[in-house]
Structure 1
Amino acid sequence: MPVQRGFAAGLKRFVWRVIGWIVQYEEKRLSRIALSELTDEQLADIGVTPSEARREAARPFSS
């Protein structure tokens, strides 16, 4: 049954890869939401202009 083991291992790698993509997507989504909620003073503290923050927050999550 080596074919089944190979298939199972490939499936496991695929599932972990999909989970990784989901985690990255969610991290980007939450970061952009947080960025959009910062005040102008908070943005200045991190060296980001309000227009840069709006542009980044408006980007699609796949980017």
Structure 2
Amino acid sequence: MKTDTIRAPVGATSRARRLLSRVISWIAEREEKRLSRLALAELTDEELADIGVTPAQARREAAQPFWR
């Protein structure tokens, strides 16, 4: 007994994999930014001064949405 199978066009699978890879990379980059901003928000004024950032600059950066 023969069954018919539906196959994706040639190249469609590799395009889908590349797209999925780019989406996963974008999500990972956004998560890294989010975590960095959370850490920045927790630094003391002295720690911020050590890295050359003012408290106002740190607050502005920490307030950015994750997609920026």
Structure 1 and Structure 2 fold alike (TM over 0.5): yes
TM-score (normalizing by structure 2)? 0.85
Match for 1:31: what amino acid? S
Compare CA radii of gyration and give the structure with the larger one: 2
Moved over 6 A (4+): none
1:29 to 4, 9, 34: 34
Give 5+ residue unaligned stretches, structure 1: none
Structure that is richer in helix per residue: 1
Give 5+ residue unaligned stretches, structure 2: 1-7
Aligned sequence identity (%):
61
* CA RMSD after TM alignment: 1.0
1:9 to 10, 14, 19: 14
Q: After TM superposition, give the deviation of residue 7 of structure 1 in Å.
A: 0.4
TM-score (normalizing by structure 1)? 0.92
